[in-house]
Amino acid sequence: MIDLYYWTTPNGHKVSIFLEEAGLEYRIVPVHIGKGEQFAPEFLRIAPNNRIPAIVDHAPADGGEAIALFESGAILEYLADKSGQFLPRETRACFGVLQWLYWQMGGLGPMAGQNHHFLRYAPEPILYAIDRYVKETARLYGVLDRQLAGREYVAGDYSIADMAIYPWARGWQMQQQKLEDFPNMAAWLERIEARPAVQRAYALVEQVNADPQALLSDEARRLLFGQ
C-alpha cells in the first residue's frame, strides 16, 4: 500500500495519474496547503520541503522498511522503477524520457508556477513579472510543440515525462497562452485527456477538495506566500 500525500494541484496530479495508470494500490492523505497542513511536523518528517506531493511506500520491492519520498520527479522515477512501467529500461530510451522529466521539473514547472503566481495570486499586478513568465511559458510550450511534431508522446511511448508535463500544460488558458500557436501540443493534450486513468485521477479532485477557490483566500495567501 502506498500513501499519497496530495493536494489538488498540478504537482499532486502527476503522482495520482501515475498511480491510476499503473493500478498500484494507494490511499490519499489530503494535505490542505491552503490551511497550512504542509507545515505539520508529521508531514515535515516525510517532506522536509513542506510541499506536496510525497509518498510513503509501506511495501517496497526490497522487503525492507517503508520508504518515504518527496519531489514529484523522484516519486515518478521511484514508482516507474517499482512497477516496471512508463520508463523504459534500455539506456537511450530511458534517458530520452528522463531529459524531458527534468525539463519539466527544472523548466516548465517553476516557470509556469511563477506565471500562475503573478497572474493569479500576487496582491497587485507587476507587469514586468507577468510579461516575463507569460513569455517564458510560451517559449517552453514552443519547445514542447516542436518535440511533439510527428510524435504521439513526448519521448517514445507514453511515459512519466508525459505525466509530469500534462498537469501543467492543461492550464495553458490561465497561463495566457494561445493553443492555436501549439497545434502538436493541442493534439497531445487531447490524447492524454482521453485516457481513462487520467480522467480517474482528475475525478479525485472533487472528492478531496470541495472548494478549489480556497487557495485564493487571504489566509491561504498568507500561509503560502508569507513563508
Ligand X SMILES: N[C@@H](CCC(=O)N[C@@H](CS)C(=O)NCC(=O)O)C(=O)O
Query: Least distance from C-beta 164 to ligand X, angstroms?
Result: 8
Q: Which is nearer to ligand X, 50 or 85 (CB)?
A: 50
**Which member of 33, 80, 154, 192 binds ligand X (CB under 6 A)?**
33
Q: Which is nearer to ligand X, 102 or 186 (CB)?
A: 102
Query: Least distance from C-beta 33 to ligand X, angstroms?
Result: 4
Rounded to whole angstroms, what are the CA distances from 117 to 32, 42, 159, 165?
18, 28, 28, 18
Q: Which is nearer to ligand X, 35 or 191 (CB)?
A: 35
The three-point CA angle 42-47-50 to 5° equals 90
How many residues form the binding site for ligand X (CB under 6 A)? 12
Which 158-187 residues touch ligand X, going by CB under 6 A? none
16 touches ligand X by CB under 6 A = no
Which 42-61 residues touch ligand X, going by CB under 6 A? 50-53
The CA radius of gyration of the chain, in Å to the nearest whole number, is 17
Q: Which is nearer to ligand X, 10 or 30 (CB)?
A: 10
Query: Least distance from C-beta 71 to ligand X, angstroms?
Result: 5
Burial 21-50, CB ≥16 within 10 A → b, else e: bbebebebbbbbbbbbbbeeeebeebbeeb
- Strands 26-30 and 2-6 come out as parallel
Q: Which is nearer to ligand X, 116 or 188 (CB)?
A: 116
72 touches ligand X by CB under 6 A = yes
145 touches ligand X by CB under 6 A = no
Which among 128, 111, 224 has a CA at the least distance from the CA of 175? 111
Contact status, residue 119 vs residue 173, Cβ threshold 8 Å = no
Rounded to whole angstroms, what are the CA distances from 157 to 100, 109, 164?
13, 22, 14
How many angstroms separate the CA atoms of 84 and 207, rounded? 29
71 touches ligand X by CB under 6 A = yes
Query: Least distance from C-beta 70 to ligand X, angstroms?
Result: 6
| Residues found near ligand X in the complex (CB under 6 A) | 9-11, 33, 38, 50-53, 71-72, 224
